[in-house]
Amino acid sequence: MNSLKTMVLMVTLTLMLVFIGGLLGGKTGMTFALIMAFVMNFITYWFSDKIVLKMYGAKQVSESEAPDLYGIVRRLAQKAELPMPKVYIMEQDQPNAFATGRNPKHGAVAVTTGIMKILSREELEGVIAHELAHIKHRDVLVGTIAATIAGAISYLAQMAQWAMIFGGRSDNEGKGSNPIAALVMMIVGPIAAMMVQMAISRSREYGADADGARIAGNPLYLANALKKLHMASQKIPMDANPATSHMFIVNPLTGGGILRLFSTHPPIEKRVARLESMIAGG
Protein backbone atom coordinates (compact mmCIF):
# COMPACT_ATOMS: atom_id res chain seq x y z
CA MET A 1 0.00 0.00 0.00
CA ASN A 2 2.84 2.41 0.84
CA SER A 3 4.49 1.70 -2.53
CA LEU A 4 1.24 2.34 -4.40
CA LYS A 5 0.67 5.55 -2.45
CA THR A 6 4.21 6.71 -3.22
CA MET A 7 3.76 6.01 -6.94
CA VAL A 8 0.48 7.96 -7.03
CA LEU A 9 2.08 10.90 -5.23
CA MET A 10 5.12 10.88 -7.54
CA VAL A 11 2.85 10.93 -10.59
CA THR A 12 0.90 13.78 -8.98
CA LEU A 13 4.09 15.80 -8.48
CA THR A 14 5.17 15.23 -12.08
CA LEU A 15 1.77 16.23 -13.47
CA MET A 16 1.83 19.34 -11.29
CA LEU A 17 5.21 20.28 -12.73
CA VAL A 18 4.04 19.81 -16.32
CA PHE A 19 0.73 21.60 -15.68
CA ILE A 20 2.32 24.61 -14.01
CA GLY A 21 5.00 24.79 -16.69
CA GLY A 22 2.29 24.76 -19.36
CA LEU A 23 0.14 27.31 -17.57
CA LEU A 24 3.01 29.73 -17.14
CA GLY A 25 4.75 29.20 -20.47
CA GLY A 26 2.59 27.16 -22.84
CA LYS A 27 4.27 24.29 -24.69
CA THR A 28 7.63 25.98 -24.24
CA GLY A 29 7.05 26.15 -20.49
CA MET A 30 6.12 22.47 -20.32
CA THR A 31 9.24 21.50 -22.23
CA PHE A 32 11.45 23.74 -20.11
CA ALA A 33 9.95 22.30 -16.89
CA LEU A 34 10.65 18.71 -17.95
CA ILE A 35 14.20 19.48 -19.10
CA MET A 36 14.93 21.34 -15.88
CA ALA A 37 13.61 18.43 -13.78
CA PHE A 38 15.69 15.95 -15.80
CA VAL A 39 18.90 17.93 -15.37
CA MET A 40 18.31 18.46 -11.64
CA ASN A 41 17.53 14.76 -11.13
CA PHE A 42 20.66 13.74 -13.04
CA ILE A 43 22.86 15.92 -10.83
CA THR A 44 21.24 14.84 -7.57
CA TYR A 45 21.28 11.15 -8.57
CA TRP A 46 25.03 11.12 -9.04
CA PHE A 47 26.22 13.59 -6.41
CA SER A 48 23.58 13.98 -3.66
CA ASP A 49 25.17 11.35 -1.37
CA LYS A 50 28.59 13.02 -1.46
CA ILE A 51 27.05 16.45 -0.93
CA VAL A 52 24.99 15.51 2.13
CA LEU A 53 27.78 13.51 3.78
CA LYS A 54 30.17 16.42 3.37
CA MET A 55 27.50 18.85 4.56
CA TYR A 56 27.35 17.12 7.95
CA GLY A 57 31.05 16.40 8.21
CA ALA A 58 30.50 12.64 8.14
CA LYS A 59 33.69 10.59 8.40
CA GLN A 60 33.89 7.10 6.94
CA VAL A 61 35.04 4.52 9.49
CA SER A 62 36.51 1.06 9.15
CA GLU A 63 35.82 -2.03 11.23
CA SER A 64 38.94 -1.42 13.30
CA GLU A 65 37.82 2.13 14.10
CA ALA A 66 34.22 1.30 15.08
CA PRO A 67 34.00 -2.50 15.53
CA ASP A 68 30.59 -2.62 17.28
CA LEU A 69 28.82 -0.29 14.84
CA TYR A 70 30.49 -1.86 11.82
CA GLY A 71 29.58 -5.34 13.04
CA ILE A 72 25.91 -4.40 13.46
CA VAL A 73 25.73 -2.92 9.97
CA ARG A 74 27.44 -5.93 8.40
CA ARG A 75 25.26 -8.53 10.14
CA LEU A 76 22.01 -6.75 9.34
CA ALA A 77 23.07 -6.04 5.74
CA GLN A 78 23.70 -9.75 5.26
CA LYS A 79 20.31 -10.53 6.79
CA ALA A 80 18.66 -8.03 4.43
CA GLU A 81 20.61 -9.51 1.49
CA LEU A 82 22.30 -6.18 0.76
CA PRO A 83 25.89 -5.34 -0.19
CA MET A 84 27.88 -4.00 2.73
CA PRO A 85 27.23 -0.23 2.81
CA LYS A 86 29.85 2.29 3.80
CA VAL A 87 29.68 3.35 7.44
CA TYR A 88 29.99 6.98 8.54
CA ILE A 89 30.00 8.79 11.87
CA MET A 90 29.01 12.43 12.32
CA GLU A 91 30.27 14.51 15.24
CA GLN A 92 26.81 15.67 16.30
CA ASP A 93 25.36 15.71 19.81
CA GLN A 94 21.81 15.14 18.62
CA PRO A 95 21.14 11.39 18.34
CA ASN A 96 20.13 10.72 14.76
CA ALA A 97 20.98 8.71 11.65
CA PHE A 98 20.34 8.60 7.91
CA ALA A 99 21.04 6.47 4.85
CA THR A 100 22.15 7.69 1.45
CA GLY A 101 23.43 6.35 -1.85
CA ARG A 102 21.83 6.17 -5.28
CA ASN A 103 21.34 2.38 -5.14
CA PRO A 104 22.14 -0.59 -2.86
CA LYS A 105 25.61 -1.02 -4.39
CA HIS A 106 26.49 2.54 -3.39
CA GLY A 107 24.66 2.62 -0.05
CA ALA A 108 25.94 4.38 3.05
CA VAL A 109 24.72 4.54 6.64
CA ALA A 110 25.63 7.54 8.78
CA VAL A 111 25.03 7.87 12.53
CA THR A 112 25.79 10.67 14.95
CA THR A 113 28.05 10.29 17.95
CA GLY A 114 25.02 11.24 20.03
CA ILE A 115 23.00 8.21 18.96
CA MET A 116 25.66 5.78 20.11
CA LYS A 117 25.65 7.35 23.57
CA ILE A 118 21.97 6.91 24.42
CA LEU A 119 20.80 3.74 22.62
CA SER A 120 21.27 0.17 23.72
CA ARG A 121 22.74 -2.29 21.22
CA GLU A 122 19.28 -3.67 20.38
CA GLU A 123 17.87 -0.17 19.84
CA LEU A 124 20.81 0.74 17.61
CA GLU A 125 20.13 -2.43 15.61
CA GLY A 126 16.55 -1.24 15.12
CA VAL A 127 17.78 2.10 13.78
CA ILE A 128 20.37 0.55 11.46
CA ALA A 129 17.78 -1.92 10.15
CA HIS A 130 15.45 1.00 9.40
CA GLU A 131 18.18 2.73 7.38
CA LEU A 132 19.03 -0.47 5.52
CA ALA A 133 15.34 -0.80 4.59
CA HIS A 134 15.57 2.66 3.00
CA ILE A 135 18.58 1.51 0.98
CA LYS A 136 16.94 -1.77 -0.04
CA HIS A 137 13.84 -0.07 -1.40
CA ARG A 138 15.75 2.84 -2.99
CA ASP A 139 13.88 5.36 -0.85
CA VAL A 140 16.85 7.73 -1.06
CA LEU A 141 16.39 7.94 -4.83
CA VAL A 142 12.61 8.39 -4.51
CA GLY A 143 13.03 11.12 -1.91
CA THR A 144 15.65 12.89 -3.99
CA ILE A 145 13.47 12.90 -7.10
CA ALA A 146 10.47 14.14 -5.12
CA ALA A 147 12.49 16.94 -3.56
CA THR A 148 13.93 17.88 -6.96
CA ILE A 149 10.54 18.08 -8.68
CA ALA A 150 9.10 20.08 -5.78
CA GLY A 151 12.10 22.40 -6.04
CA ALA A 152 11.54 22.78 -9.79
CA ILE A 153 7.92 23.78 -9.17
CA SER A 154 9.03 26.41 -6.68
CA TYR A 155 11.60 27.67 -9.19
CA LEU A 156 8.93 27.99 -11.89
CA ALA A 157 6.79 29.98 -9.47
CA GLN A 158 9.68 32.37 -8.85
CA MET A 159 10.20 32.74 -12.60
CA ALA A 160 6.51 33.58 -12.99
CA GLN A 161 6.84 36.24 -10.32
CA TRP A 162 9.67 37.96 -12.17
CA ALA A 163 7.83 37.60 -15.48
CA MET A 164 4.83 39.43 -14.03
CA ILE A 165 7.04 42.17 -12.62
CA PHE A 166 8.72 42.75 -15.98
CA GLY A 167 5.64 42.54 -18.15
CA GLY A 168 4.70 38.88 -18.55
CA ARG A 169 5.07 36.80 -21.68
CA SER A 170 3.23 35.32 -24.61
CA ASP A 171 3.02 31.60 -25.31
CA ASN A 172 3.67 29.78 -28.57
CA GLU A 173 0.15 30.30 -29.80
CA GLY A 174 0.44 34.06 -29.36
CA LYS A 175 -2.10 34.23 -26.55
CA GLY A 176 -1.31 36.34 -23.55
CA SER A 177 -0.77 34.74 -20.18
CA ASN A 178 -3.53 34.62 -17.60
CA PRO A 179 -2.24 36.84 -14.78
CA ILE A 180 -4.80 35.53 -12.26
CA ALA A 181 -3.93 31.90 -12.95
CA ALA A 182 -0.24 32.72 -12.80
CA LEU A 183 -0.71 34.50 -9.48
CA VAL A 184 -2.61 31.53 -8.03
CA MET A 185 0.09 29.12 -9.20
CA MET A 186 2.82 31.31 -7.74
CA ILE A 187 1.19 30.97 -4.32
CA VAL A 188 -0.51 27.56 -4.35
CA GLY A 189 1.92 25.60 -6.54
CA PRO A 190 4.97 25.53 -4.24
CA ILE A 191 2.83 24.87 -1.15
CA ALA A 192 0.98 22.00 -2.83
CA ALA A 193 4.25 20.54 -4.16
CA MET A 194 5.81 20.73 -0.70
CA MET A 195 2.84 18.95 0.87
CA VAL A 196 2.97 16.15 -1.73
CA GLN A 197 6.71 15.80 -1.19
CA MET A 198 6.17 15.56 2.56
CA ALA A 199 3.46 12.93 2.04
CA ILE A 200 5.89 10.84 -0.02
CA SER A 201 8.52 11.11 2.70
CA ARG A 202 6.07 10.11 5.45
CA SER A 203 4.86 7.12 3.43
CA ARG A 204 8.41 5.84 2.96
CA GLU A 205 9.15 6.27 6.68
CA TYR A 206 6.26 3.97 7.57
CA GLY A 207 7.54 1.43 5.05
CA ALA A 208 11.10 1.58 6.38
CA ASP A 209 9.83 1.19 9.95
CA ALA A 210 7.95 -1.99 9.09
CA ASP A 211 10.70 -3.53 6.94
CA GLY A 212 13.39 -2.44 9.38
CA ALA A 213 11.52 -4.15 12.22
CA ARG A 214 11.53 -7.39 10.23
CA ILE A 215 15.24 -7.09 9.45
CA ALA A 216 16.12 -6.43 13.09
CA GLY A 217 13.88 -9.29 14.23
CA ASN A 218 11.87 -7.33 16.82
CA PRO A 219 9.69 -4.24 16.20
CA LEU A 220 10.24 -3.07 19.78
CA TYR A 221 13.93 -2.45 19.12
CA LEU A 222 13.01 0.40 16.76
CA ALA A 223 9.94 1.50 18.73
CA ASN A 224 12.00 2.04 21.87
CA ALA A 225 14.74 3.77 19.89
CA LEU A 226 12.26 6.18 18.29
CA LYS A 227 10.92 7.22 21.69
CA LYS A 228 14.41 8.05 22.92
CA LEU A 229 15.44 9.80 19.70
CA HIS A 230 12.31 11.93 19.60
CA MET A 231 12.74 13.13 23.18
CA ALA A 232 16.43 13.88 22.63
CA SER A 233 15.82 15.74 19.35
CA GLN A 234 13.49 18.14 21.19
CA LYS A 235 16.22 18.97 23.70
CA ILE A 236 19.39 18.84 21.61
CA PRO A 237 19.34 21.06 18.51
CA MET A 238 21.08 20.23 15.25
CA ASP A 239 22.14 22.76 12.66
CA ALA A 240 20.39 20.82 9.91
CA ASN A 241 19.51 21.96 6.41
CA PRO A 242 15.70 21.75 5.92
CA ALA A 243 16.29 20.35 2.42
CA THR A 244 17.89 17.25 3.95
CA SER A 245 15.71 16.82 7.03
CA HIS A 246 13.65 14.09 5.34
CA MET A 247 16.72 11.83 5.26
CA PHE A 248 17.07 11.46 9.04
CA ILE A 249 15.29 8.77 11.04
CA VAL A 250 13.69 11.46 13.21
CA ASN A 251 13.19 15.04 12.13
CA PRO A 252 16.28 17.00 13.26
CA LEU A 253 14.18 20.17 13.21
CA THR A 254 11.54 20.85 15.84
CA GLY A 255 8.06 22.20 15.31
CA GLY A 256 4.46 21.48 16.15
CA GLY A 257 0.94 22.64 15.42
CA ILE A 258 0.35 23.64 11.81
CA LEU A 259 4.01 22.93 11.01
CA ARG A 260 3.19 19.21 11.26
CA LEU A 261 1.39 19.53 7.92
CA PHE A 262 4.79 20.19 6.37
CA SER A 263 6.70 17.64 8.43
CA THR A 264 8.85 15.17 6.54
CA HIS A 265 8.14 12.53 9.19
CA PRO A 266 4.95 10.95 10.56
CA PRO A 267 4.19 11.65 14.24
CA ILE A 268 6.39 9.49 16.48
CA GLU A 269 3.33 8.28 18.38
CA LYS A 270 1.85 6.80 15.19
CA ARG A 271 5.14 5.21 14.16
CA VAL A 272 5.54 3.61 17.59
CA ALA A 273 1.91 2.44 17.62
CA ARG A 274 2.33 0.75 14.23
CA LEU A 275 5.48 -1.01 15.38
CA GLU A 276 3.84 -2.19 18.60
CA SER A 277 0.85 -3.46 16.62
CA MET A 278 3.25 -5.72 14.69
CA ILE A 279 3.95 -7.50 17.98
CA ALA A 280 0.25 -7.79 18.75
CA GLY A 281 -0.42 -9.14 15.29
CA GLY A 282 2.40 -11.67 15.47
Q: Which residues are catalytic?
A: 131
Neighbouring C-beta atoms of residue 98, cutoff 10 Å: 25
Strands of the sheet containing 59-60, edge to edge, are 59-60, 86-90, 108-112, 97-100
C-alpha distances out from residue 83 to 64, 69, 128, 162, 230, Å: 19, 16, 14, 48, 30
How far from chain centre, in Å, is Cα 156?
22
Question: In angstroms, rounded to a whole number, what is the distance separating the alpha carbons of residues 211 and 149?
Answer: 27
Q: Which of 134, 256, 136 is nearest to 205 (CA)?
A: 134
**Which of 226, 233, 229, 235 lies closest to 270, judged by CA?**
226
